Homo-oligomer: A and B are copies of this chain.
Amino acid sequence: MYNTQILRKNLQKRGVILLISLFSLNVFAFDAGGDSHTTVVNPLATKTSGGSQKPDLITNMDELMARQPNPNVNVNGVGIYVYDGMFSLDALGPYQVFKSAGLKTFLIAKNKGTVTMSNGLTLAVNKSIAEVSKLDVLLIPGGAGATAMQTIDPEVLDWIKKIDETSIYTTSVCTGAWILGATGLLQGKDASTHWYRANEMLTKYGAEYTGKRWTVDGKYWTSAGVTGGVDMALALVNHLFGKQYTQAVMLDMEYDPKPPVQGGSPKKSDPIIAQLMKDMYDFFLINFVNCPLGTPGACLFN
């Protein structure tokens, strides 16, 4: 770990500030495995002191440094707001993209401790909203009923509005736009969200549904459902650091998607399947959809 820090400092001095996170992913991986295999020498120890044995590596490191992206906007902290019942990939897809891109990225919940996602998995969360008063980037993930509940939680809405006062980018994924909409911040804006009754929901919040994979309106970035967050996060990386750096992140994740069948949007799906999915969501959410803005919580599901 000590050697890792020395390497990190040296590289930073020489200009590799951003790609280092891609290194640190690997460094972490070594550290994690190291505890139970103490005979394994830290690879960084030999590399940092033995660079002269590998001149080609040094050459390439210099080459790498020459490619340091010049950010269009300096972003120092990406906070992802998380809550019980959220959709896992809404938060964790963008989290991985931002982390791979070297951005300081962390989860924030109403109360720190743990959050259990809609798929039943539980994540540790180390920051509470009370501890965070400023973020360069805020991202709000979506969900179903749990997200509807967030839209009527004044403490959450007030915190988002406070963060938005000084944020550089305020963003949402999927039905996270419902929460963002409930703060009033999408009023008069174009936006994306999950396809389910997207027009009705965004109209309620004074926004216009674009149907795009992600929408940028001023500092507000919003994406389509669930997996749309990965594309939006990569688009933000592209906006900040340019195409080559985005390609580096995409290579790290081998992001060259090939869905096995056509689909993923109502228009690309069998109309019967799209209708059934809408009906299924209606079964749980239609009362919330029809609930006038500002109605107390008891309206939502009765």
Instruction: Determine whether A73 belongs to the interface, using a CB cutoff of 8 Å to chain B.
Output: no
Cα A92 to Cα B36 with chains together (Å): 24
Q: Which residue of B lies closest to A33 (CB)?
A: B149
Out of B29, B39, B227, B255, name the residue touching A85 (CB < 8 Å): B29
**In contact, B264 and A61 (Cβ under 8 angstroms):** no
Q: For chain A residues 191-239, which have a beta carbon within 8 Å of chain B?
A: 194-195, 213, 224-228, 230-231, 234-235, 238
Residues of B within 8 A of A279 (CB): 57, 60-61, 63-64
| B84 in contact with A88 (CB, 8 Å) | no
User: Chain B's nearest CB lies how many Å from the CB of A283?
Assistant: 6
| A121-B123, A301-B41 as given contacts; A283 in contact with B145, CB under 8 Å | no
Contacts of A143 in B (CB 8 A): 29
Does A26 contact B270, Cβ atoms closer than 8 Å? no
For the complex, is A289 an interface residue (Cβ under 8 Å from B)?
A: no
CB distance from A31 to the nearest CB of B (A): 8
Residue A297 at the chain B interface, CB threshold 8 Å: yes
* Contact flags A61-95 to B (C-beta < 8 A → 1, else 0): 10110010000000000000001111111001101
* B243 pairs with A43, CB closer than 8 A: no
Q: Which residues of B contact A264 (CB under 8 A)?
A: 250-251, 253-257
Question: Could you say which of A226, A250, A277 has the most chain B C-beta atoms within 10 Å of its C-beta?
Answer: A250
Q: Mark A132-150, 1 if CB is under 8 A from B, else 0.
A: 0000000000011111111
- With an 8 A cutoff between CB atoms, is A30 at the interface? yes
- The interface size bin for chain A is 35 or more
Q: Are A40 and B149 in contact (CB under 8 A)?
A: yes
For A83-124 the 0/1 string (1 means CB < 8 A from B) is 111111100110110011000000100000010101111111
A129 at the B interface (CB under 8 A): no
A266 at interface, CB cutoff 8 A: yes
**6 shortest interchain CB distances as A-B pairs:** A225-B254, A256-B264, A33-B149, A32-B85, A30-B145, A32-B84
- Chosen A-B contacts, 14 in total, with CB atoms closer than 8 Å, are A23-B283, A26-B285, A29-B145, A30-B146, A89-B92, A121-B124, A224-B254, A238-B261, A246-B260, A247-B263, A248-B273, A250-B269, A251-B263, A255-B263
